[in-house]
Structure 1
Amino acid sequence: MTELRVDQYSAVVIAARRTAISTRGMRLARLGVEQLAAPVLRACRADAERAIGSPVVIADVVLGNCMGPGGNIARRAALGAGFDVSVPGVTIDTQCGSGLSAIISATDSIRADSTRGNFSHGSGPRLILAGGAESASTAPLRIANGVPYARAAFTPPGFPDPEMGPAAQDLAAASGIDRCRQDAYAARSHRRALDQARDGGFDDEIVALEALEHDDSPRRQILALLPRLAPLYPPARGLSSGTVTAGNSCRISDGAAVVAVVANSVRGNAPGLALVAHATIGCDPALPGIGPVAAVNRVCELAGLRLDDVAAFEIVEAFAAQTLAVLDRLGLAGGDWVDPRVCTGGGALALGHPWGASGAVSVVRLFTRLVHENAPAGSFGIATAAVGGGMGVAALFEVVR
């Protein structure tokens, strides 16, 4: 294994927060996307200042978003958070990978500035707040040629552009993943999320909005309901029945997640996650859910690591079928077995999937698992997501203390 070194120029996540995740139309439904993000931005800045022990200068706000009203949501959220008008903002759309892409962009920016000696401003260390936000409840209706549509095309004419549910079912068929395995994986996600919530494992992450202090999707009764739910889509070719159901698919949700990124040279004694390597790679748009496989393998190759060297994995669980197809190919699942390092507190199948935020939620979860839970310095974690249109994004982090 190649020995990794976090130098003074490295970008380090020193704080990580999120809202509770709420199903579309429920507890967070009256809040616009910038209203979801603004309180989390404030909380993350406050955590960062406590960690460093001094005020910070916010150099930028970078947020992922898929379906919002536009108008540069990151800038709107920065102003809504009460930040100085000099704080800019940039909004990124990589669909379900948007929040993770925003964090990657922020770390690259911090590292680039640091190599030029811009570690800090006269009034404090420079910091970028990055993550994602999505309000599926308030997403505007979109119209093209006078016809409303639910989402934009992920590919141009002449390329496959399947809906995500049927694409997950096709991937399950191609991978030999049956309904029983999908339901069992969904049940695992709910059990782990419920156990994590019971033990207070989400408490340090969540910024309460609308008096919502806990994710509203994990539910014990789903365990009994899973076998009874009807398939959502016609069967894939060669199968007698469909396998993707409402129970083994994520819930469309509202939520926001943000991390604070600084140069390693100014973090002082604050523990955190240093970005070691990242990759965004395209794949066959007909099977978009498989994208994380190449991205995860690429970050390990860049870092000189094996998957056995990684302490924690967080994958955006859009569908049990898609997640298992990825994990099987990575050697992190097979048959009834799922590697215990994967989504120890459950994932999007239980918590919900606020599209543009979910990749950032994965990094918040890594921060809790590795930093708050005292993993030793030098431990590694990977966050990854599949992207509509056929892509995968992954980021490899190392614990610093």
Structure 2
Amino acid sequence: MTEAYILGAARTAIGKRNGVFADTRPDELAGNLLRTFVGNLNFDPVHIEDVVMGCVTQIGEQGFNIGRMAALLAGFPVSVPGTSVNRMCASSLQAVNFAAQAVKAGAMDLVVGAGVESMSRVSMGSDGGGLSDLLTQRFDIIPQGLSAELICEKWGLSRADVDAFSAESHRRAVIATENGWFDREIVPIQVKKGGESVIARRDEGPRQDTTLEKLANLRSAFKTGGVLTAGSSSQISDGAAAVLIGSESMAAKLNLVPRARVRGMAVVGIDPTIMLTGVVPATQMVLQKSGLTVSDIDLFEVNEAFAPVVMAWSRDLNIDLAKTNVNGGAVALGHPLGASGARLVVTLLHELERRDQTLGLATLCIGFGMAVATVIERI
């Protein structure tokens, strides 16, 4: 089987809701990233055989197959196709995995796995309709926030526990930002905001002034007296990310140096009521498929959809949080739905390089009870 190599990985800064990207169409944001990303790698995009774009709310400005729209807006040759993937919050990790699978199978030699979401311009859930009565007769379908509350109950996580986790996410993200640790992975993007031209080069979510006291004063978000607040949930955000996957022969042809290989991939389904704990079996499955154990992994990136998702995952698998989301997670950085999976891979690769470490694992929980996981290995 052919190896699937990561030949490049980059992202935009993550904008807050109604922040720096609020006046930028998501298809244009993704196209801008792709154009700059490929330009920085200095190869002719005519060699790209597909652009696989994760996006969750595929309606309005994110409709009409945003993967193809982004490729056209990037200025790629019209021969470069594009498609769109919706596996909800893990859409762009699935896009990266689909790209890697195509290369591993020998079906393609160069594929972009990417993702984008503008939650400022396209409201989350606006693409959905009512649920089937047959579905709700079989399953207790509840909002994700209540599923996260169920995790708190089942794992005995208190308000103090999740607030402490959330404060630490901000602390790590602020340190990483101030030290420039995200600078290599972020592609500065010039956009219009309020009629003025600005360059977005820094994540807007991390707050230096986040304290336990401030978090403790926030109201319960999902049920009266509940554990979770806006402060222990991922932020509504805008952003895009891209990973270039290629074969060894194509890397040599384009004079691109492989930075890592995709060692393992997994996707699982679980109970759609508690829905957010799939990161546990997904992690177990991808490790088994990769011939690895937890102790082999140097760094983990687990999407902080809600603080208890990562906390329960850590407890069940006995994984040290000191090796997890070391530069903060979605509680601090934000969660632009369709972009988050690829963003985890981008951040994971760059942090492995900065620390001169080898193995990393990324995983995301998914609405209605699924999860995706990927292991990458620096070479």
Q: Normalising to structure 1: TM-score of the pair?
A: 0.85
1:17 to 2:17 alignment: no
- How far apart, in 1, do the equivalents of 2:124 and 2:271 lie? 29
* Counterpart residue number, 2:231: 247
- How far apart, in 2, do the equivalents of 1:395 and 1:231 lie? 33
Matches within 5 A, 1:1-400: 9-49=2-42, 57-69=47-59, 70-113=63-106, 126-139=109-122, 151-152=128-129, 156-158=135-137, 159-209=139-189, 210=191, 211-223=199-211, 224-234=213-223, 241-268=225-252, 270-332=257-319, 338-371=320-353, 373=354, 375=356, 379-400=358-379
Q: Deviations over 1:17-60 (max 9, x none)?
A: 1111111212111112111111211222234337xxx8761111
- How far apart, in 2, do the equivalents of 1:153 and 1:298 lie? 33
- How far apart, in 1, do the equivalents of 2:277 and 2:99 lie? 26
Residue 355 of structure 1: how far off its partner (Å): 0.5
- How far apart, in 1, do the equivalents of 2:7 and 2:367 lie? 30
Q: Which runs of 5+ in 2 are unaligned?
A: 192-198
Structure 1 segments of 4 or more deviating over 2 A? 46-50, 149-158, 264-269
- How far apart, in 1, do the equivalents of 2:33 and 2:259 lie? 18
Query: In the alignment, is the contact (CA less than 8 A) between 1:68 and 1:135 conserved in 2?
Result: no
Q: Deviations over 1:225-256 (max 9, x none)?
A: 11111111225xxxxx3110011111111110
Report the 3-state secondary structure (helix = DSSP H, G, I; strand = E; otherwise coil) of the residue aligned with 2:264: strand
Q: Which runs of 5+ in 1 are unaligned?
A: 1-6, 119-125, 143-148, 236-240, 333-337
Residue 127 of structure 1: how far off its partner (Å): 2.1
C-alpha change, 1:369 and 1:106, in structure 2 (3 Å) is same
Report the 3-state secondary structure (helix = DSSP H, G, I; strand = E; otherwise coil) of the residue aligned with 1:267: helix
Query: In the alignment, is the contact (CA less than 8 A) between 2:71 and 2:80 conserved in 1?
Result: yes
Residue 342 of structure 1: how far off its partner (Å): 0.4
- How far apart, in 2, do the equivalents of 1:166 and 1:141 lie? 17
**For the aligned residues, what is the CA RMSD?**
2.0
**Which one-letter code corresponds to 1:232 in the other structure?**
A
- How far apart, in 2, do the equivalents of 1:11 and 1:233 lie? 42
Residue 154 of structure 1: how far off its partner (Å): 7.7
Number of matched residues?
361
C-alpha change, 1:55 and 1:245, in structure 2 (3 Å) is closer
**Which one-letter code corresponds to 1:294 in the other structure?**
P
Residue 141 of structure 1: how far off its partner (Å): 8.7
**Which one-letter code corresponds to 1:398 in the other structure?**
E
- How far apart, in 2, do the equivalents of 1:348 and 1:67 lie? 18
- How far apart, in 2, do the equivalents of 1:207 and 1:315 lie? 22
When you count helix as a share of all residues, which structure comes out higher? 2
* Counterpart residue number, 1:122: none
- How far apart, in 1, do the equivalents of 2:131 and 2:334 lie? 22
Q: Deviations over 1:153-176 (max 9, x none)?
A: 688332222211111011111111
- How far apart, in 1, do the equivalents of 2:170 and 2:130 lie? 32
Residue 264 of structure 1: how far off its partner (Å): 2.6
* Counterpart residue number, 2:195: none
Query: In the alignment, is the contact (CA less than 8 A) between 1:259 and 1:364 conserved in 2?
Result: yes
Residue 330 of structure 1: how far off its partner (Å): 1.4
Report the 3-state secondary structure (helix = DSSP H, G, I; strand = E; otherwise coil) of the residue aligned with 1:234: coil
Q: Normalising to structure 2: TM-score of the pair?
A: 0.90
Query: In the alignment, is the contact (CA less than 8 A) between 1:222 and 1:247 conserved in 2?
Result: no
**Which one-letter code corresponds to 1:66 in the other structure?**
V
Residue 97 of structure 1: how far off its partner (Å): 0.5
Residue 303 of structure 1: how far off its partner (Å): 1.7
- How far apart, in 1, do the equivalents of 2:131 and 2:16 lie? 24
Identical amino acids, percent of aligned pairs: 35
Query: In the alignment, is the contact (CA less than 8 A) between 1:154 and 1:388 conserved in 2?
Result: no
Query: In the alignment, is the contact (CA less than 8 A) between 1:310 and 1:382 conserved in 2?
Result: yes
